[in-house]
Structure 1
Amino acid sequence: MAGQERSPLDYSVEGSDDSQIPHTLPVLALKDLVAFPFMIAPLFVTRDSSIAAIEEAIDRDRTILLVAQKRATIEDPTQEDLHKIGTVGVLMRMFKLPDQRIRILVQGLSRARVKTCKKKGSFLVAQIEPIEEPEANEDDPEIAALVREVKEKVKSASELGRTFPPEVLVVLENLEDPGRLADLVASNLDLDVPDSQSVLDIVHPVRRLSRIHQILTSQVELLNVRERINSRAKVEIDRSQREYFLRQQLKAIQNELGETDDFSEEINQYREQVETTRLSPEARQETLRQIQRLERMQSDSAEAAIVRNYVDWMLSLPWSKSTPDTLDLRKARTILDREHYDLEDVKTRIVEYLAVLKLKQNLKGPILCFVGPPGVGKTSLGRAIATALGRKFARISLGGVHDEAEIRGHRRTYVGAMPGKIIQTLRYAESDNPVFMLDEVDKTGADSRGDPAAALLEVLDPEQNCTFRDNFLGVPFDLSRVLFIATANMLDTIRPAFRDRMEVLTLPGYTEHEKLKIARRFLVPRQLSAHGLSTRHLRITDAAVKTIIDSYTNEAGVRNLERAIASICRKTARQVAEGEATRQSRVATKELQDFLGAPRKIRSRLLRQDTVGVATALAWTPTGGEIFFVESIGMKGRGKLILTGQLGDVMKESARAAMSYARSRAAQLGIDLSMFGHTDFHIHVPEGAIPKDGPSGGVALAISLISTCTRRPVRQDIAFTGEITLRGRILAVGGIKEKVLAAQRSRVRLIVVPKDNQPDLREIPETVRDKVEFQLVEDMDEVVRVAFRESLTGRRSVTTVRQDAANPPLSPLPMKPRR
């Protein structure tokens, strides 16, 4: 390494004749220095290649090429790593130091251009071309004025604090050559390597001096600004000291007179709190400014109350107050497993976050979004995560929020202005790194007062939330350390830009086996404790819990299951309180009617036999999966298609596509094509008060129509999902896991699923896959083969349907199951 030690420069040596400079010279690469002609500088050399180059130069004629590196980090530079123009120098002295370093004294002679550079042993040897500098007319008035202006700039910089050696200033006064003047000033300006090299690259002396003039002008302006800043700072310090002295005198006089000023005491307390509270620089400046305003007001004025409220908020926020994280991964996983059953994806994600936080302390908090039906434990999972991390838990509900000011706060010009919910909740949490849950983000709305979801874009962006600006505070607040967790029942109502900022984790509905485990491990003990009972008072058998799940609830979560258990506990608590219970109450299946009444009929189980024109379909809803029935009948008419049941546009289009497919495949399906001309078809989906839409009912619509046309009943133990095309292809749909769970709850034996959804079946729990069969299909021909117990192919075409006594309308007919 060649390093520089600044020393006085000697410009008394005359230039060397370029004809005497060898055309091949060893190269000394400089890391942090650019050598100029006629410059004398001491250098420390430590690299073996540089020492070898110096020894080569001493063995020859003591001349060496000094070239700056483009990047100082390179230890073994090549020609591509060196600048094209360097300085030929002569070694004047060399000293070997005890630490194996070499100290040399080198003087620059002239500029030289590097033509080629090759390795010779461990050092570089360059083929150079000496650069002849054109002569400048020193008598030219313009050049003389430029020389004088540069000298004046150097003098001004020296007066403003820029240090120049006295010898340099003396040489400057007697130097008129523009080229040497430029090189002299450049070597003493402490420029970085790129700027110095840009000056060295300029061969023409006048242009080089003009460049030095530009650099000097910029530095003099910076020095003037620094001088003004220092002067203002000194004035402010003197003023602050004077004010402090006068205030102390006033305080001493009041104490001597026995006078107490509550308002002054309040101001002093505010100032002391500012000193003891670790505010951000912007918050500290704004708080002190408001305290000064308050000091000049009447203590009982309305504006003083507004300023007091603002200062109180600023001093009560956790600007730099945080809780230490629990970085024990095993302990965190144990806490998560203790609080919640299953949910492996979410637990793994939290443990991964802790692992990264353990390795990188200043990690920004992730933005997670839990999506799932009600009752699956999204909110309680947030509390468990806070416990596992050792952080405070904060929560706000965004359901029904329409005002943007609820998020960003109100401006202080309004009466009763307050910060937004984000800042308010952080104040109550007393920590700047809590687990912050934004509940029900899919239920925000927009009106004339703004869109809360748009305000949340800044909150949930890791690149922006470090400078979140509440309208009430008016200064940035750092939210980057907060672990935000949003919850939603569905993603469709969330704006794309909002959804893009979150990492979505899906929490699907629970299976019957999972609900039983949750009830045994969490729900029953919690309700026993909540009602003042213990296991010696009440015991609910597993069979009873299964019956509650099967006959009294129909949900994806466990909320209604917990209500049923709570109802049993209340009745038992009454018996205990009245002294009627003398021993443990054991609730089995046969006792459930005494506690919960008769089992409720579940809509999805009303279909008990094969029926013409009725097909079972699967649907996804925000509350989990559901099954529904598609009914169709044919009646005398003109070939119209009637759709009822509050169907959406997409579902209506699916019904029309199913009708077109049935007509195009009439011969293969055994349907008389003429019936489509004098028969009206009515498709209805029961529970008309509930809106229905989506493409996944296309297969069920087609099967229902085919069944009506062929008068063949559809299997009652089979459910369909999939989108149908005009040519009968089956396309993939979403929500497969939720739909399968709904089918399993309803005792469906066979589910027809698009073949493209085969990867989604891996998410189905093994306990469910053991109870349900799956038929993967690609076209309607495969669906038809499994939907009916009898084959439709080879049948004789049915006769034309006429609505009379001998031929009644094609309505759903109950049929006995055929084995």
Structure 2
Amino acid sequence: MAKDKNAKANTESSIVAEIPSEVVIIPIVNSPIFPGMIAPIILSEDKYTPELDSYLTKNNYVALNLVKFKDFGENSDAVLQEMDEEQVSYEDDTESFPVTSSSDSPKGITPKDIYKVGVLCKVIKKLKLPDGSVNLLVHGMKRYRAVEYIADAPLLVARTEVFNDIHEPDEELDAYTRSVINQVKKLSEINPYFNEEMKLAMLNSPSPGSLADLVAFALSLDVPEAQDFLETLIVKKRFAKLLVYLKREKDVADIQKKITDEVNDKVNKYQREYFLREQLKVIRNELGLDEDDKAKDIKKIKETLEAGGLPEEAKKAAMEELERLESIPDSSPEYNVTRTYLNWMVQLPWNAATDDKVDIESAKKMLEKDHYGLEKPKERIMEFLAVRKLKPEYDGTILCLAGPPGVGKTSLGHSIAKALGRKFYRFSLGGMKDEAEIKGHRRTYVGAMPGKIIQALKRVEVNNPVIMLDEIDKIGKSYQGDPASALLEVLDPEQNKTFIDNYLDVPFDLSKVLFIATANYVGEIPEALLDRMELIDLSGYTIEEKLSIATKWVIPKQLKKHGLVSKEFSLGAPVLKALVSDYAREPGVRVMEQMVAKLCRRAALEKVSNKKFKKFAPAVADLEKYLGPKRFETDMAQKPLQPGIVTGLAWTSFGGDILFIETIPLKGRGFKLTGQLGDVMGESANLAYSYVKSILQAQIEEEKALEEKKASKKKVSKKKIDTPATVTAPAVAAPNPEEATDFLAKHEIHLHLPAGATPKDGPSAGITMALALYSLSTNQMVRGDIAMTGELSLTGKVLPVGGIKEKVLAAKRAGIKEIILPWQNEKDLKEVPERHRKGMKFYPVKHFDEVLKIALKSR
């Protein structure tokens, strides 16, 4: 043992003696070289300077020092030397240990940028490569420290101080050594880098310090850790640090193995399933058994595509997807996505259609049977059917049935489909805010599906159904798009021949589909969308029409629905009329149907609970008991009035309605409006107030002029009255115009339209408000059996308004017999059926003077 120690000491002394006192330093960035290691260093042609070549010719020692961590700026891509991926072997004649070494050195490095402690290496071989670079094979000899830098250009030269390992053999050092060897053995089970060669090199290490350096080199430590390890001369401390590094490497290796195992398990599972399926397929083919489910699906889809008669573009897209489907494992999520798309493609009715069977006579009888009244809509539908009979491929405009709720818009759509012999499908657009509901989702989204139009065609299984777009005026708009704009392509006959759904991404011909839209309020439909449709107005029903509808349709339907028969339930004509006028005065029949259903439920209860029950036949007085308090007054015309209150006619989205305009005087001055009036109606009220003041002032001037004429007692021609050019005194003189003018000047007039929670707007109440103000100021009563509508100009002209038919029907329902309307609206009375106008009197007027003559009660 003593001889070995002496031999080792002599060897180290000879090495130290051989090392020159001054050496050239080659900075390296990573992969440090430890004493005892042999590694190649490749210097590119421009890095291997003549000065370095001259130095190596004279001296075969160089020093390798690690560069400190710092940002080298623009020079970070430049290197002084490069270490290739080669085997680095420990100094031993029998064993070698392969490691991967790579390092880069930036240009412009100064002595301040490198660590002082490094490794002195002997250049064993110098080989020039074909690309001009030079390969230096170096052998790490000793740890050293740069004591003094002699030169930094063109070569970095330093004076050296060599170090030896400090270790004293004892039990603690043996324990460290064994612990390190055990840790490496454990790592070798997880990390293939610590293989048999590594373990053999460790057993043949000449000293504990060399063993520690070997393991540290194999761990590929970071630069700060490697430098710290390099500067640790006491072998015991070096082993203590090495155990920490090995423990960390073991933890990382465990986690890496766990992740790798999980990935391998998944991959192996898929591979195993794939191989088993392929084997099963081969076995089935050998035995002549049926194909597997995937092959069946693909075969079935392919046969359907071949026989489905798809357009060329659609068929091409479907076949491309089918090819993709064949290459996708059926366990993959993408398989179901592609298969669902192909199912949509093969299930759509690309060529399936029903034959139109238009029989005009039977269609007319069916419309008369299913719908009472509605002559104009029925006439338009008959025209539509006649054109379809003459030219089945006619691409007419889209029909839009507009009217208040409960007038039969949806049932008319059913009748059209029945008359054509087509399938009917309805979906509501009310509240729809997502454009994808119409044009479908793109297949990149999870849960993507086609839009409502394509879904409807799949359900009806034909490409020429009648599709009803219900509540088109209630369509919404949000950040998800504008569904109304998406409908433009659907409802345009020039565009819908090549309608492209985002999900299908191929054109589908919608020109054969008959679209029917419904709306309550036309004003809410976007103008561009309205331009593509033909409006058919469905006004409300009169009391007489409702009585007929209740007798022929509503009561039989509700009796059947509630398990009753006709002999057990009876509503007499007076009772039915009272029910309609007091509880169901709305334009439609839906509320009336609800009231009849309520009475049927009461009849069913009495039939079940009363053994002596024979027939349910309530009287007029019993309606309040069964239906609650009256919702409307029976006779609106008998409502007591006073000066300043006038009955007007209004149009709403639910049809026509009557309204009372009320005015009262207050202390003070000015004009006050209430009742949720819109801007147009507010301006109309102010205009009426100004006009009434002007005609009262004109009447005062006229009376003064007449008095002056009488006082003069001279025969002169009629004196010109000094009144404004655009305003003349009314033909019906006020009892005392001066007092009336003073009344307006000395009082604050409050004008109100009841039902204050309902917004109101429009100019059609102009003459009504003017008459209320004139009645209040002159203290004259207005007739209670007359209603009116018309816009008032500042000169007293009565201008035309809209909704005449609905307003006439509203007056009829309210029991009003006489109506004042603009003379230009007289032609609109032709739209009102004769039976509705019967018993009513109409006064077409051109000027407000005529309104005063007709509406004011005689004194």
Asked if the contact 1:511–1:768 (Cα under 8 Å) also holds between the matched residues in 2, the reply is yes
Matches of 2:491 and 2:638, distance apart in 1: 47
1:611 deviates by 0.9
Compared CA separation, residues 606 and 772, structure 1 to 2 (3 A) = closer
Alignment of 1:705-724 (within 5 A): 705-724=773-792
Please report how far the alpha carbon of residue 276 of structure 1 lies from its aligned counterpart in structure 2 after TM superposition. 2.3
Farther off after superposition, 727-736 or 251-260: 251-260
Q: Residue 347 of structure 2 aligns with which residue?
A: 316
SS at match of 1:688: coil
Q: Which whole-Å CA distance do the structure 2 matches of 1:604 and 1:477 have between them?
A: 57
1:377 deviates by: 0.7
Q: Which amino acid aligns with 1:701?
A: M
Q: Conserved in 1, the CA contact under 8 Å of 2:397 and 2:532?
A: no
- The alignment status of 1:439 with 2:470, answered yes or no, reads yes
Q: Distance in 2 between matches of 1:717 and 1:414?
A: 64
Give the letter aligned to residue 274 of structure 1.
L
Matches within 5 A, 1:639-788: 640-666=670-696, 667=699, 668=729, 669-670=733-734, 671-672=737-738, 673-788=741-856
User: What is the alpha-carbon distance in structure 1 between the residues aligned to residue 504 and residue 399 of structure 2?
Assistant: 27
Going from structure 1 to structure 2, the CA distance change for 1:255 and 1:782 (only over 3 Å counts) comes to farther
Structure 1 residues 278 and 661: CA distance shift in structure 2, 3 A: same
Kindly name which structure, 1 or 2, has the bigger radius of gyration based on alpha carbons.
Answer: 2
The Cα offsets for residues 139-190 of structure 1, whole Å up to 9 and x where unpaired, read as xxxxxxxxxxxxxxxxxxxxxxxxxxxxxxxxxxxxxxxxxxxxxxxxxxxx
> SS of the residue aligned with 2:815?
coil
Partner of 1:548: 579
Q: Which amino acid aligns with 2:337?
A: I
TM-score (norm 1): 0.64
The one-letter amino acid paired with 2:685 is A
User: Sequence identity, in percent?
Assistant: 47
CA distance in 1, matches of 2:443, 2:634: 55
Secondary structure, aligned partner of 1:311: helix
Q: How does 1:157-176 map to 2 (within 5 A)?
A: none
Aligned residues: 542
Q: 1:252, CA displacement in angstroms?
A: 11
SS in 1 for 2:522: coil
Q: Residue deviations 1:793-818, cap 9 Å, x none?
A: xxxxxxxxxxxxxxxxxxxxxxxxxx
Other structure's SS at 1:610 match: coil
The amino acid of 1:660's aligned partner reads S
Query: Partner amino acid for 2:764?
Result: S
| Partner secondary structure for residue 612 of structure 1 | coil
Q: What's the offset of the Cα at 1:400?
A: 0.6
Q: How far apart are 1:725 and its partner, in Å?
A: 0.3
TM-fit CA distance, 1:360: 1.9
Give the aligned residue type for 1:782. E
Whether the 8 Å CA contact 2:434–2:478 is kept in 1: the answer is: yes
The letter of the residue matching 1:528 is L
In 2, Cα distance between the equivalents of 1:579 and 1:279?
65
Q: 1:611 aligns with which of 642, 647, 660?
A: 642
Q: Is 1:385 aligned to 2:385, yes or no? A: no
Segments of 5+ residues of structure 2 without an aligned counterpart are 1-277, 700-728
Establish whether residue 627 from structure 1 lines up as the match of residue 695 from structure 2.
no
Choose from 412, 415, 436 the match for 1:405.
436
Residue in 1 aligned with 2:69?
A: none
1:575 Cα deviation after fit:
2.2
Match of 1:46 in 2: none
Question: Could you tell me how far apart the structure 2 residues matched to 1:376 and 1:259 are?
Answer: 59
Offset at 1:354? 2.5
Residue of structure 1 aligned with 2:296, choices 244, 249, 265? 265
Displacement of 1:630: 1.1
1:119 corresponds to: none
Match of 1:478 among 482, 499, 509: 509
Structure 2: which amino acid aligns with 1:596?
L
Equivalent position SS for 1:751: strand
1:149-160 equivalent positions in 2, closer than 5 A:
none
Q: Which moved more, 1:624-633 or 1:673-682?
A: 673-682
**In terms of mean alpha carbon deviation, does 480-489 or 568-577 score higher?**
568-577
Q: In structure 2, what is the Cα distance between the partners aligned to 1:582 and 1:634?
A: 59
User: Which letter does structure 2 place at the counterpart of 1:495?
Assistant: P
Shift of residue 633, structure 1, vs aligned partner: 2.1
Deviations 1:313-365 (A, max 9, x none): 11111111111212221112222222111222222223222322222232225
Indicate which of 399, 407, 410 corresponds to 1:368.
399
1:772 CA displacement: 2.0
How far is 1:517 from its partner?
Answer: 1.1
Kindly state the Cα deviation for residue 253 of structure 1 after the two structures are TM-superposed. Answer: 8.1
Could you say what secondary structure the match of 1:628 adopts?
Answer: strand
CA distance in 2, matches of 1:309, 1:464: 27
- CA-based RMSD: 2.1
Residue 230 of structure 2 is matched in structure 1 by: none
Q: Distance in 1 between matches of 2:404 and 2:388?
A: 31
State the one-letter code of the partner of 2:675: G
Q: Equivalents in 1 of 2:295, 2:612: separation in Å?
A: 68
1:577 aligned counterpart, secondary structure = helix
Q: Distance in 2 between matches of 1:594 and 1:674?
A: 52
Task: Please give the alpha-carbon distance, in whole angstroms, between the structure 2 residues aligned to 1:603 and 1:550.
Answer: 6
Give, in whole Å, the separation in 1 of the partners of 2:812 and 2:367: 28
Mapped partners of 1:572, 1:512: distance in 2: 24
Distance 1:261 1:493 in 2: 56
- The answer to whether the Cα contact below 8 Å between 1:604 and 1:627 also exists between their aligned partners in 2 is no
Q: Is the 8 A contact 2:581 2:632 kept in 1?
A: no
CA distance in 2, matches of 1:606, 1:771: 14
Q: Which amino acid aligns with 1:641?
A: F
Which amino acid letter does the alignment assign opposite residue 413 of structure 1?
Answer: T
Q: Distance in 1 between matches of 2:615 and 2:635?
A: 36
State how far apart, in whole Å, the 1-side matches of 2:289 and 2:750 are: 96
Q: Tell me the CA shift for residue 625 of structure 1.
A: 0.8
Q: Deviations over 1:699-718 (max 9, x none)?
A: 11100110111111221111
CA separation of 1:324 and 1:767: change in aligned 2, threshold 3 A: same
Deviations 1:517-551 (A, max 9, x none): 11111111111111111112212222221111111
The aligned amino acid for 1:737 is K
1:559 is matched with which residue?
590
Per-residue deviation, 1:406: 0.8
Residues in 2 aligned to 1:410 and 1:748: alpha-carbon distance in whole angstroms: 55
- C-alpha change, 1:687 and 1:356, in structure 2 (3 Å) is closer
Query: Counterparts of 2:498 and 2:612 in 1: how far apart (Å)?
Result: 62
Q: Which amino acid aligns with 1:621?
A: T
2:358–2:419 contact (8 Å) kept in structure 1 = no
Q: Provide, for residues 11-35 of structure 1, a one-character-per-residue CA deviation record: whole Å limited to 9, x for no partner.
A: xxxxxxxxxxxxxxxxxxxxxxxxx
Question: Distance between the aligned counterparts of 1:770 and 1:354, measured in 2?
Answer: 32
1:277 aligns with 2:277: no
Residue 785 to residue 255, structure 1, CA distance change in 2 (3 Å): farther
- Deviation of residue 592 (structure 1)? 3.0
Distance 1:315 1:581 in 2: 63
Change (3 A) 1:255 1:360: farther
Q: Counterparts of 2:329 and 2:681 in 1: how far apart (Å)?
A: 69
Q: CA deviation at 1:636?
A: 3.2
Structure 1 residues 424-462: Cα deviation after superposition (integer angstroms, max 9, x where no partner): 111111111111100000011212111111111111111
Alpha-carbon distance, 1:635 to partner: 2.8
2:137: which partner in 1?
Answer: none
- Report if the CA contact (8 A) 2:310-2:350 is conserved: yes
Once residues 265 and 772 of structure 1 are traced to their aligned partners in structure 2, the CA distance between those partners, rounded to angstroms, is: 75
Per-residue deviation, 1:257: 6.1
Separation in structure 1 between the aligned mates of residue 387 and residue 599 of structure 2, nearest angstrom: 46
Match of 1:65 in 2: none
**Alpha-carbon distance change, 467 to 699 in structure 1, aligned in 2, over 3 angstroms:** same
The verdict on how the C-alpha distance between 1:251 and 1:514 changes in structure 2, with shifts beyond 3 A counting, is farther
Q: TM-score scaled to structure 2, two decimals?
A: 0.61
CA displacement, residues 728-755 of structure 1 (integer Å, 9 cap, x when unaligned): 0000000111111111111212211100
